[in-house]
């Protein structure tokens, strides 16, 4: 018991990781609930809307991923400056993220213009393509608000003060859910906009979240210690280091999301029912992935602070604690999936479908949940150790790992089994399991090698 207590209370042990990570898990869980209810509302509206929402949203997230990965890396700069006791540098680091967010928003908005041409390449039915394009374009036009909110949140998460992040994101979720319901279905005097309503509700919630972070951060009480008002100028040297370390981190996020986007688009070629079942299961999978990603940010912060303080060995315990907690969370949620798969999947049933019509889709979804349970444990290990490596600044390795895994283990094999060998949906999902098993193994081996202990992203 004494050994367990010492480990629990050790610097960067499970207790400290949870103090930082639990509010982030709650924040991510609120985002999960928002996405889940969004899918339920769309599924009840029409099966076509549900099928289009996954491919439309994941394509938008793929476009955002690179830029979001870069601006979120401000978290590591804030963490390492905090660990080094150089609080006056936080404002300058934060503002470089703001400028990068605004520039990124312009690029993404332009990428939303050829939406119909993009989705025509996927080969989905014309009705699905039109919905995908509308949803994607609306999300692209509003993406600057989401990226800006992520950038601003690092002011708190990088210092390990994660309750404000939780509260702001919960308010955003509270705004999104009723707006979704009203704008999709045309209730409470709102127009009936279907999938376009879901996109508009999401963008409004992003705007509320970004505005709340700005109101909390840019105030005179923070100016003396952090220079959040006076350090607004573009800093070429600091911006360059943000790009140097953040760009590979952004590329890693992009490549991971690209792999999943390609997977969804390939599966969509099997038919609407297969795409809808995949959508439902991925929506449920958010209850495992996104809370674990909250722990990913927490371990990134603690490892970054350890590096900044010159005590990198404390990052080892943070990473192992994160991996253990991610696995425990995955096991708990996986058990819920298996025990209550019927009611969970029934929530997605379109109003126009009878129980008999919906039964084959629900059965496919039930089978796919077994794949989710199989890969979630490895997903947790990958999330923990990639977060630890990013906290130290080892972003080039995780970029190369993401490229190799996404292209060679996920996208190409999935295309082969679906389009060439015609082995069907379950063979495609087997590729997904193999992808996460190998991803976790290589990330763990890299961390165990220990080279990350000699890295730093801030100037001496």
Mean pLDDT taken over the chain:
89
Q: Return the minimum-mean-pLDDT range out of 68-72, 83-87, 351-355, 413-417.
A: 351-355
pLDDT of the residue at 15: 86
Q: Which residue has the higher pLDDT, 388 or 126?
A: 388
Rounded to an integer, the average pLDDT of 74-101 is 94
122 pLDDT above the threshold of 80: no
Reference 319, options 398, 256, 391; nearest CA is 391
Please enumerate in sequence order all residues whose Cβ is within 8 A of that of 24, keeping only pairs 6 or more positions apart, or say none.
Answer: 157, 162, 165, 166, 294, 295, 297, 298
CB-count burial class (<10 Å; 0-12, 13-18, 19+) for 444 = buried
- Report the percentage of the chain scoring pLDDT > 70: 99
CA gap 298, 318 in Å, rounded: 9
Judged on CB neighbours under 10 Å (0-12, 13-18, 19+), 19 is middle
For range 429-458, the mean pLDDT: 94
Contacts of 106 (CB under 8 A, 6+ apart): 144
pLDDT of amino acid 460: 63
pLDDT confidence band for 133 (50 / 70 / 90):
confident
Percent of the chain residues past pLDDT 90, beyond the cut: 54
Residue 312 DSSP label: T
| 25-42 per-position pLDDT tens digit | 888 777 777 777 777 788
389-to-264, 383, 399, 447 alpha-carbon distances in Å: 28, 10, 11, 7
* Average pLDDT for 55-59: 80
Indicate the range of 55-59, 157-161, 400-404, 434-438 predicted with least confidence.
55-59
pLDDT band, residue 77 (cuts 50/70/90)? very high
Say what the pLDDT of residue 3 is. 67
Q: What is the pLDDT confidence band of residue 217, given thresholds at 50, 70 and 90?
A: very high
> Where along the chain do its domains lie?
18-454
pTM attached to this predicted model: 0.84
Q: Which two tokens stand for residue 72?
A: 């979120």
Q: Are 217 and 155 in contact (CB under 8 A)?
A: yes
């Amino acid at each position: 018991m004494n050994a367990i207590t010492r480990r629990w209370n050790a610097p960067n042990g499970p207790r400290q990781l949870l103090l930082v990570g639990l509010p982030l898990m709650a924040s991510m869980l609120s985002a999960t609930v928002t996405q889940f209810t969004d899918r339920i509302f769309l599924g009840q509206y029409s099966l076509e809307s549900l099928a289009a929402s996954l491919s439309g949203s994941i394509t938008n997230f793929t476009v955002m991923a690179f830029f979001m990965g870069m601006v979120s890396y401000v978290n590591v700069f804030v963490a390492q400056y905090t660990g080094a006791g150089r609080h006056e540098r936080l404002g300058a680091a934060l503002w470089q993220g703001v400028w990068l967010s605004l520039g990124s928003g312009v690029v993404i908005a332009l990428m939303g213009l050829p939406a119909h041409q993009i989705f025509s390449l996927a080969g989905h039915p014309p009705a699905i393509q039109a919905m995908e394009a509308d949803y994607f374009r609306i999300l692209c036009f509003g993406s600057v608000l989401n990226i800006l909110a992520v950038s601003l949140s690092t002011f708190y998460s990088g210092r390990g003060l994660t309750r404000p992040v939780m509260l702001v994101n919960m308010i955003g979720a509270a705004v999104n859910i009723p707006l979704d319901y009203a704008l999709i279905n045309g209730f409470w005097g709102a127009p009936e906009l279907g999938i376009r309503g879901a996109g508009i509700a999401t963008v409004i919630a992003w705007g509320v979240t970004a505005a709340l972070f700005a109101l909390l951060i840019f105030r005179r009480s923070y100016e003396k210690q952090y220079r959040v008002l006076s350090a607004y100028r573009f800093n070429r040297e600091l911006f360059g280091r943000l790009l140097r370390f953040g760009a590979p981190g952004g590329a890693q996020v992009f490549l991971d999301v690209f792999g999943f986007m390609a997977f969804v688009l390939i599966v969509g070629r099997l038919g609407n029912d297969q795409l809808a079942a995949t959508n439902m299961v991925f929506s449920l999978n958010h209850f495992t992935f996104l809370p674990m990603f909250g722990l990913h940010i927490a371990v990134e912060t603690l490892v970054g602070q350890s590096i900044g303080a010159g005590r990198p060995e404390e990052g080892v315990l943070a990473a192992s604690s994160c991996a253990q907690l991610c696995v425990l969370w995955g096991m708990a949620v996986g058990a819920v999936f298996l025990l209550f798969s019927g009611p969970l999947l029934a929530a997605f049933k379109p109003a126009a479908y009878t129980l008999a019509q919906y039964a084959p889709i629900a059965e496919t979804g039930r089978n796919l949940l077994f794949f989710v349970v199989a890969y979630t444990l490895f997903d947790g290990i990958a999330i923990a150790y990639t977060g630890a490596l990013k906290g130290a600044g080892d972003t080039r390795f995780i970029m190369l790992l993401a490229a190799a895994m996404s292209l060679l283990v996920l996208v190409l094999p999935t295309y082969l089994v679906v389009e060439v060998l015609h082995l069907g949906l379950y063979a495609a999902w087997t590729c997904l399991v193999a992808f996460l098993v190998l991803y976790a193994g290589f990330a763990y081996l890299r961390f165990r090698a220990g080279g990350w202990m000699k890295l730093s992203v801030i100037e001496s």
